[in-house]
Amino acid sequence: MIEGILVEGLIYGIMALGVFITFRILDFPDLSVDGTFPLGAAVMASTLTAGWNPLLCLLLAFAAGAAAGMLTALIHNTLKVPGLLAGILTMTMLWSINIRVLGGRANLPLMRVETMLTRFQHGLGAALSQPAALLLFCFAVVLVIKLAMDFFFHTDLGLTLGALGFNEQMIIAQGIDPRALKYIALALANGLVAVSGAFAAQYQGFADVNLGQGIIVSGLAMVMLGEFILRSNRIGWLTSRVILGSIAYRAIMYAGRYYGYYINLTPNDLKLITGILIIAALAVTKLQDKKGAAKKGKAKK
Amino acid sequence: MIELKDIDMTFGIGTPDENHVLNGLSLKVNRGDFITIIGSNGAGKSTLFNVISGKYSPTSGRVIFQEGDVTSQPEYRRARYIGRIFQDPLLGTAGNMSLEDNMVITQKKGFKGLKISLNHQLREKFRKELVQLDMNLENRLSDNVGTLSGGQRQALTLLMTVLSQPEILLLDEHTAALDPKNAAKVLELTCRFIEKYSLTAMMVTHNMQQAIDYGNRLLMLDNGQVIFDVSGEEKKNLTVDLLVKKFHEIRKSDFLSDEALLS
């Protein structure tokens, strides 16, 4: 069970990192995620089934997600529609695209296909038990992604992106087109989400067009949970806590699934729990803010 | 150096709220000018800045920079030549980031690449520049800008803007939101930087005395036109009373309400 929580936490953590980029860094509520997650899964599953090199399949999944993210940015930038609507449009259209990618069906099993995960497990099978090898692999993948992201947000371009969500006027004043930055950030975020979907498909042994339903909400819950775990402003900590939040979220979901029946909860109630989790997180943050403001006010007097 | 030709700016054309803000305004800004701009509310001061910076594109007329006609250039492109400071001290910096990160973003205009510029050398440079502000900010490079006071933030914005070496500095009542002590300090820094980097600047102010004391040229705006443009000796000999008298002469309208607003 604990391996399951960690592995899923790590795999979905990649998705949460993408959500973190759009919602927290860019301040752009991007709902394309519900479509790009299964897109990544679909691209991975269909290319793997066709016998392509797994690494190439993963790159293709990233590229597909990135392209979808850019579509959202394109709709938002050129038609000046709110980001929320642009994301919903992309997400809706992707549902049809995903079915096409899967070859005209809603589900593609990967049971007899050699995936990145099974390859690694077999490769290390002698030295480590299968679950341990899987965990090690996922940990390594997430670590590489996290470190790459930390590096990116230390570069001049990354810093500019960091300022954009907070103060668009400042970015314009620097002679930078904010639209260009939005393309980059949305591509990056949705590329990550698609990679997460690609790994989820390999882990679960199938790609399904409905894999992404409500995924954005769970991603948001992960990001918010992480914000409770530790407070910091350093990008290295920010990305770490997103992954920790993802693992915590998985743990709560597991608890709900395994012990929920004592209080008559079924797996169907997990979405309700997710929603309540987010509302609780929002409420607690609000309360803390109020307390903080009250304290400050007192100190001033 | 900067030339505005016959600028007309009308908002809401064809609606009952149609508002003619700039009225055939023409202006030539020379290199090295430090222009102060006064005018009552609605005279078009902010709109003038918005037209120069490209936030609004004028209904008719041309905006010409040294680089050529920029009337159709979007704001972000023109921003490479312009440093603009707003009344709101929060608008010039990103409060969620550290001082050094903010300074990295603004040290050079234009699109940024995938390199990490922030190193020991650059930090030293930032520290040296921050000493000029005399606000002990040189020891707070890794602090969040959000933890600074309004005055410190505006002073930092000013320094960051000046360091990017704009062709023209637009100061949009940039001290109006500060307490008197900080306002004086930021204004003093402004003058020092303009002199040190020999910048061309335009400053909107609501304070007539300030408009007279600072700069080498003074513009009075009314009804979307420059009604009074004075520089050199003549400007040095101005007083608030003279300015008010001048306004009466030109407009011959009731100045009482405006006087209350301006002083």
Q: Which of A155, A171, A172 sits opposite B116 (nearest CB)?
A: A155
Residue A301 has pLDDT above 80, yes or no: no
pLDDT for position A298: 46
Task: From A198, A158, A176, select the one nearest A11 (Cα to Cα).
Answer: A198
Residues of chain A with C-beta less than 8 angstroms from the C-beta of B111: 157, 175-177, 180
Q: Are strands B225-231 and B217-222 parallel, antiparallel or unpaired?
A: antiparallel
Give the contacts of A237 (CB within 8 A, at least 6 positions apart). Answer: A230
Residues of chain A with C-beta less than 8 angstroms from the C-beta of B110: 174-176
Task: From A176, A141, A181, select the one nearest A165 (Cα to Cα).
Answer: A181
For helices A215-229 and A2-19, give the axis angle rounded to 10 degrees: 100
Q: What is the DSSP secondary structure assignment for residue A102, as one 8-state letter? A: T
Identify which has the larger pLDDT, A111 or A72. A72
pLDDT for position A125: 65
Residues of chain A with C-beta less than 8 angstroms from the C-beta of B76: 171-172, 175-178
Residues of chain B with C-beta less than 8 angstroms from the C-beta of A170: 91-94, 105-106
Residue A161 has pLDDT above 80, yes or no: yes
pLDDT for position A292: 67
What is the average pLDDT value for chain B, to the nearest integer?
A: 89
- ipTM of the complex model: 0.85
pLDDT for position B8: 92
Task: From A166, A255, A147, A193, select the one nearest B90 (Cα to Cα).
Answer: A166
Q: How far is CA B234 from CA A188, A217, B227, in A?
A: 59, 67, 16
pLDDT for position A294: 64
Task: For residue A112, name the pLDDT band (cuts at 50, 70, 90).
Answer: confident
What is d(CA A142, CA A9) in angstroms, rounded to the nearest whole number?
10
Q: Is the dihedral of CA B92, B95, B96, B102 positive or negative?
A: positive
What is d(CA B175, CA B206) in angstroms, rounded to the nearest whole number?
10
Q: Least CA distance to A177: which residue of chain B?
A: B76
Q: Is the dihedral of CA B195, B201, B203, B208 positive or negative?
A: positive
Q: Least CA distance to A167: which residue of chain B?
A: B94
Q: Find out whether B90 and B149 touch, Cβ atoms under 8 Å.
A: no
Q: Find out whether A77 and A211 touch, Cβ atoms under 8 Å.
A: no
pLDDT digits (tens, 9 = 90+) for A13-52: 999 999 999 999 999 999 999 999 999 999 999 999 999 9
Most confident of A61-75, A241-255, B82-96, B129-143: A61-75
pLDDT for position B67: 86
DSSP A39-90: HHHHHHHHHHHTT--HHHHHHHHHHHHHHHHHHHHHHHHHH---HHHHHHHH
Distance between alpha carbon A249 and the CA centroid of its chain, in Å? Answer: 13
Give the start-end residues of each E strand in chain A.
Answer: 107-109, 206-208
pLDDT digits (tens, 9 = 90+) for B23-60: 889 999 999 999 999 988 888 899 999 999 999 999 99
Residue A264 has pLDDT above 90, yes or no: no
Q: Which of B79, B105, B114 sits opposite A172 (nearest CB)?
A: B79
Q: Does A78 touch chain B (CB under 8 A)?
A: no
Residue A230 has pLDDT above 90, yes or no: no
Q: How far is CA A236 from CA A24, A232, A239, B155, in A?
A: 15, 9, 6, 30
Q: How many residues does chain B have?
A: 263
Q: In chain B, pLDDT over 90 holds for what percent of residues?
A: 66
Contact A176 B110 (CB under 8 A): yes
What angle (nearest 5°) sits at the alpha carbon of residue A52, between those of residues A51 and A54?
Answer: 110
Contact B109 A175 (CB under 8 A): yes
What is d(CA B235, CA B214) in angstroms, rounded to the nearest whole number?
10
| Shortest Cα distance, chain B CAs vs residue A210, angstroms | 36
pLDDT for position A257: 84
Element (H, E) at B27: strand B19-29
What is d(CA B111, CA A156) in angstroms, rounded to the nearest whole number?
9
What is the average pLDDT value for chain A, to the nearest integer?
A: 91
Q: Which of A154, A167, A171 sits opposite B116 (nearest CB)?
A: A154
Distance between alpha carbon B89 and the CA centroid of its chain, in Å? Answer: 13
Residue A110 has pLDDT above 60, yes or no: yes
Task: From A64, A71, A35, select the one nearest A47 (Cα to Cα).
Answer: A64
Residue A62 has pLDDT above 90, yes or no: yes
Residue B152 has pLDDT above 50, yes or no: yes
Q: Which of A154, A166, A169 sits opposite B96 (nearest CB)?
A: A166
Q: How many residues does chain A have?
A: 301
Q: Least CA distance to B77: which residue of chain A?
A: A175
Residue A297 has pLDDT above 70, yes or no: no
Q: Find out whether B39 and B33 touch, Cβ atoms under 8 Å.
A: no
Give the contacts of B150 (CB within 8 A, at least 6 positions apart). Answer: B89, B177, B178, B179, B182
Residues of chain B with C-beta less than 8 angstroms from the C-beta of A155: 112-116
What is d(CA A192, CA A206) in angstroms, rounded to the nearest whole number?
19
Please tell me the pTM assigned to this model: 0.88
| Shortest Cα distance, chain B CAs vs residue A177, angstroms | 6
Quick one: B93 exposed, middle or buried, by C-beta within 10 A (0-12, 13-18, 19+)? buried
Q: Does B79 touch chain A (CB under 8 A)?
A: yes
pLDDT for position A183: 97
pLDDT for position B262: 59
Place of tokens 């600047």: B201
Q: Find out whether B186 and B154 touch, Cβ atoms under 8 Å.
A: yes
Which residues of chain B from 80 to 119 reach within 8 Å of chain A, CB to CB? 80, 82-84, 86, 90-98, 101-102, 104-106, 109-118
Q: Among A84-88, B195-199, B238-242, which is the least confidently predicted range? A: B238-242
List of domains in chain B: 1-81+168-176+196-263 (3.40.50.300), 90-165 (no CATH)
pLDDT for position A300: 38
Q: Which of B74, B95, B109 sits opposite A166 (nearest CB)?
A: B95
Give the contacts of B134 (CB within 8 A, at least 6 positions apart). Answer: none
Q: Which of B98, B102, B115 sits opposite A156 (nearest CB)?
A: B115
pLDDT for position A299: 43
pLDDT for position A126: 67
Residue A139 has pLDDT above 90, yes or no: yes
Contact A175 B79 (CB under 8 A): yes
Q: Return the bridge partners of B9, or none.
A: B22
Contact B94 A163 (CB under 8 A): yes
- Using only C-alpha atoms, what is the Rg of chain B? 19
Q: Least CA distance to A149: which residue of chain B?
A: B114
Q: Which of A157, A170, A178 sits opposite B113 (nearest CB)?
A: A157
What is d(CA B173, CA B211) in angstroms, rounded to the nearest whole number?
11
What is d(CA A137, CA B105) in angstroms, rounded to the nearest whole number?
37
Q: Does A168 touch chain B (CB under 8 A)?
A: no
Q: Does A263 touch chain B (CB under 8 A)?
A: no
Q: Does A264 touch chain B (CB under 8 A)?
A: no
Residue A281 has pLDDT above 90, yes or no: no
Which residues of chain A from 140 to 159 reach within 8 Å of chain B, CB to CB? 152, 154-157, 159
Contact B91 A166 (CB under 8 A): no
**In what order do the strands lie in the sheet containing B225-231?**
B82-85, B168-172, B200-204, B34-38, B217-222, B225-231
pLDDT for position A142: 97
For helices A156-164 and B99-107, give the axis angle rounded to 10 degrees: 110
